[in-house]
Amino acid sequence: MAGKILTLELERALVGRDEGVPKLGAFVLAAMISLILMYGVWSNTSSSASPGIPTVGKDEKAKTIWQLKMLWVNQAKRLIYDTLGKSNKPFQLMASTGPLIILPAHFMDEVRNDDRMTFAAALKKDFFSNYPGFEGFRPAVENHVFTKSVRIGLTQAIGQVTELLSQEMAGMLRGMWPVKDEWTSTEFNQNALAIITRLSSRIFLPEPLCHDQEWLDIAVNYTVDFFTAAFVLRMWPKGLRPFVHWFLPQTRKIRKEVADATRLIEPELARRRKEKAEALAAGKEPPRYVDALAWMQAAAGEQADRYNYVWGQLNYSLGAIHTTSMTFVYVVYDLIEHSEYIPLLREEIAAVWKPGDVLTKNVLYNLKLMDSFMKESQRLSPVTLMPMNRVAQETVTLSDGTVIPKGAGLGIPITAMTDEKYHKDPLTFDGHRFYNLRQQPGNETKYQFVTTSNEHIAFGHGKHACPGRFFASNEIKIALVQMLTTYDFRFPPGQNRPVPLENGVSMVPDPRGQIQYRRRQD
C-alpha cells in the first residue's frame, strides 16, 4: 500500500502540471520507477548505524525501512521515553532521517563540545543540501556565515533591535485584535505566526521590503514547505532522491519560493552595491545598516561578493519564525491555564514600564517573573523532544564503551528537563520555579530563559546552542507585554487547551486551536 501511495504521488507530480512532461512518458516513467521503489520501500535493508548498539522498533511489527520510519513519525516519543525508562543506556532506531543513535542525558558533557561530533554535519545531512531548493543551508553550513552573523551581528545589536521591535509591535496587535469588550475567538497559532513573522522581518530586512506581504507569506510558508519537502524526500530510497526531487510538488514549491525571494531581495542588494560603489568613488564611508543583510555581509568578510544573501535570509526565517511562534503559543496557553499569574505579571510590567513608552533591553531584563514563567512553559511544553543533534566526524568511543561509528547520527532527548533529580515535582507547573532560583545569592544571572544547561536543553547546549535565543526571548516578551496590558484572554467556553500534534520528535501546536480575547476589564 505504501509503495502504491508513493507511486501515485510521483505520477501526480509528473502528470497534470505545467512543466510540459508528456502524460504518456510520465506514466511510463512513473511505472518504471515504481518497480524500483517497491524494492526500496519494502526491502529489509540495514536500519542500524552501529551493529554494537541495540536497535528498537523491529519488535513492533515494523520490519522494513518504510515501516520503521513511519513508526518514528507516529510514535517517536513513546519509543524514546519507554526505552530509556527501561534501560538508561544508548540504543538506536530508524528516524525519518535514517538510523539514529539515542544517548541518555548523562552523556551531555561528553557530547556538547566535542568537535568530533558536530552540528554542522547534522544540518548538512538532514537538510539534503545537495538538492536545488535545499541548498539554502549549504553556504551557511560550509562558510559558517549564517551562525557568525547571528552570534555577532544580531546579538550585539540586541539593544537597538529591541526598540525597533517595540515600535513595530505597538500598533500591529491592535490591528490584528480590535479592542472591544465582547469575547472574540481566534486561531492563536496563526496569530502567533503573523506576529513573530512581522517582528522578525522588521529586523532581518529593511523597510519597506520587510512589510511586503509577498515576502511575509514566503517567510511563513518556506519553513513549513521546506520541512514538508524534506520529510517527503526522506521517504524515498536514497538512490532515487537525486531524481524524484525534480518532480515532487513539495520540492518544486520550495524552488519557486527561492526564486520569488530572489526576485524580491535582489533589487535591494543591487541598490546597496551601487550605493557602496558611489560612496567609495567619492571618498566617503559607505552607509551602515542594521539588518540581517548587513550582518551576513560583515560575517562573510572576503567572501561577501560570493555569498548568497537570499539563501541566508531564508535561513533566518527557518531558524527564527516557527520555533519562536510555537514557544509563544505554548506560553499563552499556559497563561490561560494558570491564570493566577496574569495579575502578577501585570504588576511586574507596571513596575518597570508604562504603555506608550518604548520597551528597552533593560526593561525586558527586569521582567524576571515573566522570564521564569516562559522557561517553565518551555520546560513542560518544548517544541522538540530532541534539540541536541550531532553527526560523528570520526569513530568515537564513549565513557561506557559505546562506539559511535564515523558518519552516525546521534541525539540526546530532553528527559532531564522533567527528571526529579533536577527539578522538584517535575511534572507540576511552577511559574516561580526559576524566579526563586535566581533569588539565591550567586544565581542572579543563572536560570534565565536563554540560559542552557545539562538539565535544560530546549535551546540545545554547548557551543552549538541556538544563537538566536536572545532575540527570540525579546520577541516573546514584547508581544506578551502588549497582550497582557491591553487584553484579557481565555479558551472558548467548553474547550480545553489544544493538544499538540506529534510528528517524530516535533510537538506542533494544533493550527485550529482557538483562544478568545477582549479588552482588559480591570
Widest Cα–Cα separation across the chain:
75
φ and ψ of 309, to 5 deg = -75, -25
List the binding residues.
466
Is 61 buried (19+), middle (13-18) or exposed (0-12) by CB count in 10 A?
exposed
Give 14-55 pLDDT, tens digit per residue.
333 333 334 434 443 444 344 444 444 444 445 556 778 998
* 357 DSSP assignment: S
Local structure of 344: helix, strand or coil: helix
5-44 in b/e form (b: 16+ CB < 10 A) is ebbebbbebbbeeeeeeeeeebeebbeebbeebeebbeee
Local structure of 458: helix, strand or coil: strand
Strand blocks (E) in 382-446: 388-392, 396-397, 403-404, 409-412
The pLDDT, as a whole number, for residue 272 is 94
Residue 510, C-alpha cell as written in the block: 494544533
Distance CA 103, CA 93 (A): 11
Residue of 108, 461, 190, 465 lying closest to 319 (CA atoms): 465
Is 490 buried (19+), middle (13-18) or exposed (0-12) by CB count in 10 A?
middle
pLDDT at 145 over 90: no
Distance CA 377, CA 13 (A): 41
The pLDDT, as a whole number, for residue 120 is 57
Per mean pLDDT, which range of 121-130, 195-204, 282-291 is the poorest? 121-130
The pLDDT, as a whole number, for residue 130 is 55
Give 190-245 pLDDT, tens digit per residue.
999 999 999 999 999 999 999 999 999 999 999 889 888 888 887 787 788 888 88
Residue 237, C-alpha cell as written in the block: 530510497
The pLDDT, as a whole number, for residue 513 is 95
pLDDT at 376 over 60: yes
The pLDDT, as a whole number, for residue 182 is 97
Band (7; pLDDT cuts 50, 70, 90)? very low
Percent of the chain with pLDDT over 70: 85
Q: Are 452 and 379 contacting, i.e. CB atoms less than 8 angstroms apart?
A: no
The residue type found at 307 is Y
List the binding residues for heme.
466
Per mean pLDDT, which range of 20-29, 144-153, 276-285, 323-332 is the poorest? 20-29
Angle at 471 between CA 486 and CA 387, to 5 degrees: 110
Percent of the chain with pLDDT over 90: 61
List all residues 6 or more positions away from 257 whose beta carbon is below 8 Å from its beta carbon. 218, 221, 222, 225, 314
Residue 325, C-alpha cell as written in the block: 511562534
pLDDT at 183 over 50: yes
Is 297 buried (19+), middle (13-18) or exposed (0-12) by CB count in 10 A?
buried
Band (133; pLDDT cuts 50, 70, 90)? low
State the helix-helix crossing angle for 341-352 and 469-486, rounded to 10 degrees: 100
Local structure of 413: helix, strand or coil: coil
DSSP per-residue codes, 180-216 = -SS-EEEEHHHHHHHHHHHHHHHHHS-TTGGG-HHHH
Give 396-446 pLDDT, tens digit per residue.
999 999 999 999 999 999 999 999 999 999 999 999 999 999 999 989 889
Q: Are 205 and 293 contacting, i.e. CB atoms less than 8 angstroms apart?
A: yes
The pLDDT, as a whole number, for residue 48 is 59
Higher pLDDT, 478 or 463: 478
Write the CA distances from 467 to 202, 323, 507, integer angstroms: 19, 13, 21
